[in-house]
Structure 1
């Protein structure tokens, strides 16, 4: 009996120890690691003006670029920008190829299952752009038409949510970036493009007389910085710095540089 009791006691103790070890929280070194290497690697689509794109000299510039640089400066680290295919960018983040996604990233329920987000810093709409000579003036006129959008983007999600519209179109053509879609629209190969408003209106303003934006949109959405789920310390730091540059007016200045107005989420 004593032997059985002793064995039972040892078994219980072993279970308790193993359970305790299994519940030991993983140390979050996300911020200290960034500080140690003095570098913050930001993943982006470098063909997404005005959020992030290459200028005539090949340098990566844009609204989100300036925002990330300012936050990096205040953290005391260098910011390196790494172009990544958009439909694989969350995988790159979770594989630790990059530290953040900072590039007009829409906060969605599906993405929140995979990654964490900073607080909202910009609100955006999904708009519909057509050729300036097109007779299309409302979204219901897209029946039996070909609509283009970026693969893996929130434009794709927004169109899918509008079930009536997505079922009525002839074809949804998906591109690796918005520029390709808009070039095809200008060439007459597609009839419309669904795109983020901040990107679409910027592009339209640079091509006067070529495109027009429909009054109807496919909904409002929020932009946030994408961060790995377990990187709580880094998330807290990014939120802290976003709040700081909003409070002192720096983000407003950056916004006016790229959009001519303050689009920062209040």
Structure 2
């Protein structure tokens, strides 16, 4: 989330647990003095179609959990934060091309991403869940996806999860949408029977639309959310991790989480990765 989200080839190796460390010894590693795309500015890539993590509100302002979180990081670093919007399927290519320093956009940690990106310690709990229409069929297991129309955001780990179960013989009609907003519009309108998405997104839509949506199946995967950088910018991730600890200890993370989700999803994060085939 995304979102847990899928990536092309960028690089990272990582150790499970609260410490996700990249490989060392790369000749491409950037020095601590050359970590940023702009002097005194932290440039952050986002996909602003993913409420409540990052989205454009009715006033045209980009808001959400990750926006406040990124600004808090910038404040601790003494740097202005600049956001660059990207479609999700292109966001990591932009990172690799140095269009921004970090992706702070609900990046779910999974084994593939541990091999492809430099990731921070997780800062938010997350998993893949099924959201059903309250007035429709309550889909309570992966097996019950059979014969249904299922909505996902394209190029996300939700998409990956659904494609995995399709490959295992559970036959359903997978509908891919460019943004999560479109997937939930489809669910509300009856174009799909359910949506597979990140817990953080599903909880938000259910909370905001208690008469329309309900979470009917959870923990298809476990994918805590982290800050992402390309491998050659591991020095920046090494600066981010102590800041995450500070933001947790001083209550900033809890405050943002309760404001956005109505609960604290930033403490006691389960960092044991669970994939769809485990």
Q: Same fold (TM over 0.5)?
A: yes
TM-score tier, shorter chain, comes to 0.7 to 0.9
**TM-score, normalised via structure 1 length:** 0.84
Pairwise CA distance, 1:211: 1.4
**TM-score, normalised via structure 2 length:** 0.81
Identify the residue that residue 84 of structure 1 maps to in structure 2.
86
1:215-260, CA deviations, whole angstroms, 9 ceiling, x for partnerless residues? Answer: 4441221111110101121011111111111121111111111112
Identify the residue that residue 119 of structure 2 maps to in structure 1.
117
Q: Count residues with an aligned counterpart.
A: 243
Q: 1:154 to 1:31 in 2, by over 3 A?
A: farther
Kindly indicate whether structure 1 or structure 2 has the higher relative contact order, using CA contacts under 8 Å at least 6 residues apart: 2
Q: 1:24 to 1:125 in 2, by over 3 A?
A: closer
Identify the residue that residue 220 of structure 1 maps to in structure 2.
222
SS in 2 for 1:224: strand
Pairwise CA distance, 1:101: 0.7
- Distance in 1 (CA, whole Å) between partners of 2:29 and 2:108 is 29
Q: 1:55 to 1:108 in 2, by over 3 A?
A: same
- Distance in 1 (CA, whole Å) between partners of 2:178 and 2:137 is 27
Gaps of 5+ in 2: 1-24, 269-278
Contact 1:35–1:77 under 8 Å retained in 2:
no
Which is further off, 152-161 or 86-95?
152-161
From the CA coordinates, give the structure whose radius of gyration is larger: 1
Which one of the candidate residues 128, 152, 156 is aligned to 2:155?
Answer: 152
Q: 1:25 to 1:221 in 2, by over 3 A?
A: closer
Q: Counting helix residues as a fraction of each chain, which structure ranks higher?
A: 1
Which is further off, 152-161 or 102-111?
152-161
Pairwise CA distance, 1:161: 3.9
Pairwise CA distance, 1:48: 0.8
Correspondence list, 1:1-266, <5 A: 25-26=27-28, 28-29=30-31, 32-34=34-36, 37-139=39-141, 140-162=143-165, 167-266=169-268
Gaps of 5+ in 1: 1-22
Q: 1:237 to 1:93 in 2, by over 3 A?
A: same
Give the RMSD, CA atoms, in angstroms. 2.1
